[in-house]
Amino acid sequence: MSTATPEVAPCRRCASALEAEDLRCPICGLMTPPRAHGTVERETAKVVRCENCGASVEYSVEAKAPRCDYCGSVTRVETTVDPVEQAQAYLPFTVDPEAARAALMGFLGKGGFFRPSGLAREASVESMRPLWWPAWSFRAGVDVSWTADSDAGARRSDWAPHAGRTRFDFDDIIVPASRGLKVKECEALAPHYRRDTEEREPRGPEGANIERFEATRSGARRTVLETVERLSRERLQQGVIPGRRFRNVHVAVALSSLYTTRLALPVYVLAYRYRDKAYRVLVHGQEAGAVFGEAPISKWRVAAVVAGVLLLVLVALLATGVLGS
Ligand SMILES: [Zn+2]
Ligand SMILES: [Zn+2]
């Protein structure tokens, strides 16, 4: 198991939180003091990595099937440099495996018109793996300078120029660090986690793996800045920039504070098979009602709808006399 991350003293100029690998303060740019040898040890870690999606989990001797928890592909054991960057807080599983299985069945049975009618009956669950996926959570204060054109104050022309400066605070921005989940899947799962349940140790079903953090911190910061920029742009257009229509919205953001927590978030990855094809479904680890995934589409039902629409068009054409003679 990886040990806790060593504590790092804050920036000497602005007291912002620093991370072990920072060469400069991310807020004020002050160089960090060189650390004593051995403080940031580049330890190596043994991991199990998927050859298909690249996700890696901690190696364990008792792990039975050498299959990827996310995609079921073949994995190999690999020695890698430990990025000193593992979860600081775990959200516990509050949905148990039976409930997760029931949630999958509910998802398959609920249907929607284009699903095959016997789906819940014929689908066979092939695997169900409880997992923690990695994510950074950020709190950030930003100074935003912006320029934009809007319809406010535009007399005869369509647009008038505006500019301003403002300050935004963002809470709990989740930036996924998972390689096994798609960004879309992470975005679907993220709003359903209850942050007040954070714990220092993982608590969940037996055999649950923890996906490792791997993207570098500088990569994560870049993602945060992009996210902060996007969110600032959205917020500016909800009441900060005068007017109702906008164009050429340009923003420059400067972080004034940044706090990062590395989170491990619980999810069940289920795979089921229906008529020789495998599908993946995610059941949220803290809310059994949050189920996301793939389901087959009934070709017959699609064909029936298409035929029905064609028939209607034909009838309409006949009625208007286009085809009559
Ligand atoms: Zn600083
Ligand atoms: Zn995989």
Q: Mind listing the pLDDT tens digit for each residue in 176-207?
A: 889 999 989 999 999 999 999 999 999 999 98
Mean pLDDT of the region 24-37: 76
Counting ligands in written order, the one closest to the CA of 9 is: 1
Query: If you measure from the C-alpha of residue 181 to the centroid of ligand 2, how many angstroms do you get, rounded to a whole number?
Result: 9
Task: For residues 58 and 269, give the distance between their C-alpha atoms in angstroms, rounded to a whole number.
Answer: 17
pLDDT: which is higher, 40 or 90: 90
Taking only the tens place, the pLDDT of each residue in 127-163 is 999 999 999 888 899 999 999 999 998 888 889 999 9
Query: If you measure from the C-alpha of residue 104 to the centroid of ligand 2, how many angstroms do you get, rounded to a whole number?
Result: 20
pLDDT: which is higher, 235 or 29: 235
pLDDT of residue 216: 63
Query: If you measure from the C-alpha of residue 272 to the centroid of ligand 2, how many angstroms do you get, rounded to a whole number?
Result: 16
pLDDT of residue 154: 81
Query: If you measure from the C-alpha of residue 151 to the centroid of ligand 2, how many angstroms do you get, rounded to a whole number?
Result: 50
Query: If you measure from the C-alpha of residue 54 to the centroid of ligand 2, how many angstroms do you get, rounded to a whole number?
Result: 6
Least confident of 72-76, 162-166, 223-227, 235-239: 223-227
Query: If you measure from the C-alpha of residue 130 to the centroid of ligand 2, how many angstroms do you get, rounded to a whole number?
Result: 14
pLDDT: which is higher, 83 or 259: 259
pLDDT of residue 38: 46
User: Residue 260: is its pLDDT beyond 50?
Assistant: yes
Are 69 and 133 in contact by the 8 Å Cβ rule? The answer is no
Could you tell me the residue ranges of all domains in the chain? 46-294, 301-325
User: Residue 95: is its pLDDT beyond 80?
Assistant: yes
Query: If you measure from the C-alpha of residue 19 to the centroid of ligand 1, how many angstroms do you get, rounded to a whole number?
Result: 12
Query: If you measure from the C-alpha of residue 32 to the centroid of ligand 1, how many angstroms do you get, rounded to a whole number?
Result: 9
